[in-house]
Structure 1
Amino acid sequence: MEKAFTLAVVSEEKKVDYVSYFLKDEVNYWWETARALEEEEVITWDRFKKIFLGKYFLRYMQTQMELKFFELKQEGMTVGEYEKKFTELARFVGDYVDTDEKIAKRFQQGLKPCLRSRVDVFELTTYAEVVQKMMVIEGESDQNLKEKESKKRKFGSNGERSTQGSLSGRNFKKFGYQNQGGP
């Protein structure tokens, strides 16, 4: 509905009327009763959401979603996967993420410690900046890891060049050559 309001440019005063038009069957009957019980003549959009969610989104479920949000950690997820899950759960904890700075701070708190410490030094205050910087840092970390693995394949674990792909001592003998300790 919020998207529809934006698209149709619905004023705050008309949002409840607009939504109530789309309510069907028992939800519509419920709303007529709930509206009659309200003391205020004009019901704001925020009040409607509170009443509606109180009826159709049980407090227990709200609490469960809040817990999932506060327990959310990046752990085995990529930054992109973590950001997607973070965004999905953030809508259930309004007051805790009602400013861009709060969202950014909470997002950082759930990051892997090694990544969090790298982004903390930038003192970023917007969510978009934090996510963007984390994507870059994670990408660089992945690239560094790939380069290290590539070097390990080229060189043995003790740092000497691997003989893989060259003739080993056994192959020298097989072809009639003597290994004299030289290259």
Structure 2
Amino acid sequence: MEKIFRVLECTDHQKVTCATFMLEGEANMWWKTSRQILEAQDPVITWARFLETFYKNFFPESLKERKEVEFLHLTQGSDSVMAYKKKFEELAWFAPAHIDTDAKKAKKLLRGLNPQLKGSIVVLKLRSYAEVLERALLLEDSQRGTIQGNSSKV
């Protein structure tokens, strides 16, 4: 929604109105009670106030801390590079201080790759997240081709 808000140059009031209109189920019930509390404190509900209240309810600090730790310990394991990338990007939201530059993000991605991929990529001294990801995907494809090629010769 924030992407839409930037494009449309929405005011705080418009952001809150649109976002709360989209809430469903539990989130909608939460908003009905939270809105009354927020308006009693200050009738002007800014986007920042809405987000702070929303995140406190749906993403409590304990959850954010668990997700940050999960991100810091994330490794590729037996996942494909794309599956690892997906988990990486989902959890990265909870640990912005650890990847506040492209170089830090690239290093973190590289550190979590499987040893055979990491060993081939680290020597390249890539500094960009996109470059590390691209090399990992290429190497993974190459290794699959080698494995498939060898198995077809047997």
Distance 2:136 2:46 in 1: 42
Q: Which runs of 5+ in 1 are unaligned?
A: 154-183
Distance 1:26 1:84, change over 3 A: closer
Q: Which of 71, 74, 96 in structure 1 is aligned with 2:73?
A: 71
Partners of 1:58 and 1:89 lie apart in 2 by 15
Q: CA RMSD in A?
A: 2.6
* Match of residue 95, structure 2, among 93, 96, 99: 93
**Cα shift at 1:141:** 1.3
Q: 1:19 aligns with which of 6, 15, 21?
A: 15
- Length-normalised TM-score, structure 1: 0.66
| Aligned mates of 2:39, 2:119 — CA distance in 1 | 51
Contact 1:20 1:28 in 2 (8 A): no
Q: How many residues align?
A: 145
Higher relative contact order, chain-length normalized (CA < 8 Å, sep 6+)? 2
The yes-or-no answer on 1:3 pairing with 2:3 is yes
What SS is found at the alignment partner of 2:126?
coil
The 1:29/1:67 distance shift into structure 2, 3 A limit, reads same
Report the Cα distance in structure 1 between the residues aligned to 2:7 and 2:106, rounded to whole angstroms. Answer: 27
Query: 2:40, 2:115 → 1: CA distance?
Result: 53
- 2:140 alignment partner, SS class: helix
Scaled by the length of structure 2, the TM-score of the pair is 0.77
Task: Pick the structure with more helix per residue.
Answer: 2
Larger gyration radius, structure 1 or structure 2: 1
Change (3 A) 1:8 1:109: same
Q: CA deviation at 1:80?
A: 1.0
Tell whether the 8 Å contact from 1:69 to 1:90 is kept in structure 2 after alignment.
Answer: yes
Deviations 1:131-160 (A, max 9, x none): 111111111111122233334x1xxxxxxx
Give structure 2 stretches of 5+ with no counterpart: 21-27
Q: Which moved more, 1:76-85 or 1:87-96?
A: 87-96
